[in-house]
Amino acid sequence: MRAAGTMSGTSLDGTDMAVIVTDGVEVFETAETGYRLYTRPEREALRAALGLWPGAPGVAEAARVVEDATIGICDRLEDIALLGFHGQTLAHDPGGRGTHQAGDGARVAGALGIDTVWDFRSADVALGGQGAPLAPFYHWACARRAGLTEPVGVLNLGGVGNLTWLDPRAAAPELPGACIAFDTGPANAPMDDLMQARGLGDYDRDGALAAAGTADADVVAAFLRSPYFSRIGPKSLDRNGFPALADGVAHLGDADALATLAACAAGAVAVGLTQLATPPRRLFVTGGGRRNAALMAALARATGIAVEPVEALDVAGDLMEAQAFAYLAVRVAGGLPTSAPGTTGVAAAVGGGTISRVG
């Protein structure tokens, strides 16, 4: 099946689109891709809605931004059987109010004339899961497509970091021992927020400013004493799950503050790796953070593991999550699970997602 997926992540920079050919188990081909950069007013609308739940002022405007971006980026696609529409995560509280991804998949389906799968996370949360991360099953499929024959790690460095330990020898990703996953801690979000708050731009391009700084070891040590890091996964975070981190670096100059935030993100990953029964010997990094040279260097120092961009698996790191939601959409349509106890802590393997059909 030719399926498209779209993803608007916690970096709030834009919507990614990718097409793959899959049966929901194996990935046979990657095809068209696209990217829709948000305008500054659109980013401001999304940022203003962070932390809000359905019905709150500003949520409808944020939903319209991500819907319109998806419609615009997909309207020229041909021969697409299914679309996976993630929407925009505005709030995530799996132990409390649940999880909220803004965006109406039914509107997207009607505008595009493509059957659309959306609201991927709610079913998992309703059954006691964290609702995140959801990309691990696709990570497993990519490792199999690359011909890997031993357990590896895939680390996504978006606004939040999440880690997948996977065994490509397993017959299916939902089987016990096939995939273990959890959010490691904050990644790009605190660095991006600091850049914007200090009027330095939207993000630290290539980690150049962080590379010029020195991490404050005391701030990093205090951060890693947070109770979150002593919890064993599966576990997940909201984008703004560590609000005190900004205060912790407020006294530092720009370069040192960014270097410290990079060290915090890398230290969180290192702690997460110690909680695995068998740490992987190779760690493939996806998401925007793989372009941050200071963060990648901090990861190598903190983990002692070979850290490689996910392009080493012949996967486009900027598009992996969009591809993942195309893959998950096909799994939903085929009645296959999209999460399991090892990835989200849900009681049993479960398939999430609502399908809005057009005919």
d(CA 342, CA 37): 34
> Using an 8 Å Cβ cutoff, are 323 and 20 in contact?
yes
pLDDT for 329: 98
pLDDT for 221: 98
Q: Does 128 lie in the same domain as 260?
A: no
Residue with tokens 């909201």: 238
What does 8-76 look like in DSSP terms, one character per residue? E-TT-SEEEEEEEEE-SSSEEEEEEEEEEEPPHHHHHHHHHHTT--TTSTTHHHHHHHHHHHHHHHHTT
Q: Does 223 lie in the same domain as 101?
A: no
Q: Does 300 lie in the same domain as 164?
A: yes
Question: Residues 148, 152, 155, CA angle at the centre, nearest 5°?
Answer: 125
139 part of a folded domain: no
Mean pLDDT by 10 residues, the chain (359 residues): 95 94 97 96 97 97 98 97 98 93 98 98 95 96 96 94 97 97 96 97 96 98 97 91 95 98 98 93 94 96 93 92 98 98 96 94
> Using an 8 Å Cβ cutoff, are 355 and 332 in contact?
yes
CATH number at residue 188: 3.30.420.40
pLDDT for 277: 87
Residue with tokens 């497509």: 145
153 part of a folded domain: yes
Expressed as residue numbers, the domain containing 203 is 147-313
> Which helix or strand (DSSP H or E) is residue 197 part of?
helix 188-197
Q: Does 153 lie in the same domain as 37?
A: no
Domain count, the chain: 2
pTM: 0.94
46 part of a folded domain: yes
> Which helix or strand (DSSP H or E) is residue 180 part of?
strand 179-186
pLDDT for 106: 98
Q: Does 99 lie in the same domain as 155?
A: no
Q: Does 245 lie in the same domain as 348?
A: no
> Which helix or strand (DSSP H or E) is residue 272 part of?
helix 254-274
141 part of a folded domain: no
138 part of a folded domain: no
269 part of a folded domain: yes
pLDDT for 36: 97
Q: Does 337 lie in the same domain as 196?
A: no
The strand pair at 152-157 and 354-356 is best described as: unpaired
Q: Does 127 lie in the same domain as 65?
A: yes
Q: Interhelix angle for 59-74 vs 105-112, to 10°?
A: 30
